[in-house]
Amino acid sequence: MEIGKFPASLLERLLAKNPMADSRVTLGPRVGEDAAILDMGERLLVATSDPVTFATDQIGWYSVQVNANDVACTGASPRWFMATLLVPERFSEGDAEAVFDQILEACRSVGATLIGGHSEVTYGIDRPIIMGTMLGEVERGRQISTGGAQEGDSIVLTKGIAVEGTALLARERTRALREAGVPAESIERAGGWLSEPGISVLKEARIACAVAQVHSMHDVTEGGLATGLREMAQASGLGLAVEEGSIPVFPECREVCQALGLNPLGLLASGALLVTLPGVDVPAFLSALEGEGIDGWEIGQMLAPEEGLLLIGTGGDAALPEFSRDELARYFASTP
């Protein structure tokens, strides 16, 4: 198979073999849903798991953030973190301590506690890998799912695209970008995006839950904005239309993508949050975001399923692009 997450068709077939016999699982594994929700009584337990294989100099911090994002998209607060750390033989004890310190600092920043995990020096790998698991909790009745979007909902996107993919390319393919003519200052700015504007969506998720009637939220990750929109529509059983001119693409992202022949709509984009909500709630949400220094844009609307998935551009309506794998994975696979 190609590098990247499993195709949706394969994942659906595999998940169909997993019946939910436990009635306490109120939200189980589905394409587009990044976290499970368990009924534990007065409060609901949210669980998610995500690996990190890039940005190895910040891998401990990074692993906490991406897992906390998935919890936040359910309306929950991240509380407990576990990490399985696999490192190559060249790793030193000082390197291991640096990763551990990153995890502790990141946990403090999101309000979570490191409660366990596993660590080992592993044969056959050339970089550290972390498999993180984040647990969170949310009040009963306040949980949100990717598949909760309703027909007629407005679609709001925060920050812009593609923070994560552009940052990783700037950090790991600096020479290629320079040779392709990308200005050094653009590469330097993009390389710092993991922390500013950052890949965390906790703040905007909390704002959304506080000021609006949120129907669904989704962290835009592998496969970029186009895949995130497709997952939201599929999970909700709806169609959608998005205005291409309303999609905020960072200038540095455009420069990097043009230089390397990539499409920004399919590039890894953690740091951007998709929210669907009634149109009447959009002004209050955007105003609240602005008050916290976060940009937000209304980019489209959820439609009846028969309307399909549309990208509205200056040349007319077209089908929303579909990416079999993330543009970052495609590029790395072609240029080892």
pLDDT tens sequence for the chain (336 residues): 777 778 878 888 888 888 888 888 888 888 778 889 999 888 999 999 999 887 678 899 989 999 999 999 999 999 999 999 999 999 999 999 999 999 999 999 999 999 999 999 999 998 899 999 999 999 998 999 999 999 999 999 999 999 999 999 999 899 999 999 999 999 999 998 988 888 999 999 999 999 999 999 999 998 999 999 999 999 999 999 999 999 999 999 999 999 999 999 999 999 999 999 999 999 999 999 999 999 999 999 999 999 999 999 877 789 999 998 899 989 988 886
- In this structure, is residue 2 part of a structural domain? no
Domain limits for position 129: 15-139
76, 104, 139: which is the final residue of a domain?
A: 139
Give yes or no: residues 48 and 182 share one domain.
no
Question: Phi, psi (5° rounding) for residue 64?
Answer: -70, -45
72, 106, 139: which is the final residue of a domain?
A: 139
Give yes or no: residues 23 and 127 share one domain.
yes
Q: State the Cα–Cα distance between residues 148 and 222, nearest whole angstrom.
A: 21
Question: Phi, psi (5° rounding) for residue 10?
Answer: -65, -45
232: nearest Cα among 160, 305, 295: 305
Pairing of strands 36-39, 113-121: unpaired
Give yes or no: residues 309 and 163 share one domain.
yes
91, 117, 139: which is the final residue of a domain?
A: 139
- In this structure, is residue 6 part of a structural domain? no
The number of distinct structural domains making up the chain is 2
Give yes or no: residues 155 and 122 share one domain.
no
Neighbouring C-beta atoms of residue 12, cutoff 10 Å: 13
- In this structure, is residue 9 part of a structural domain? no
List, in order, residues 6 or more apart from 20 with CB less than 8 Å away.
28
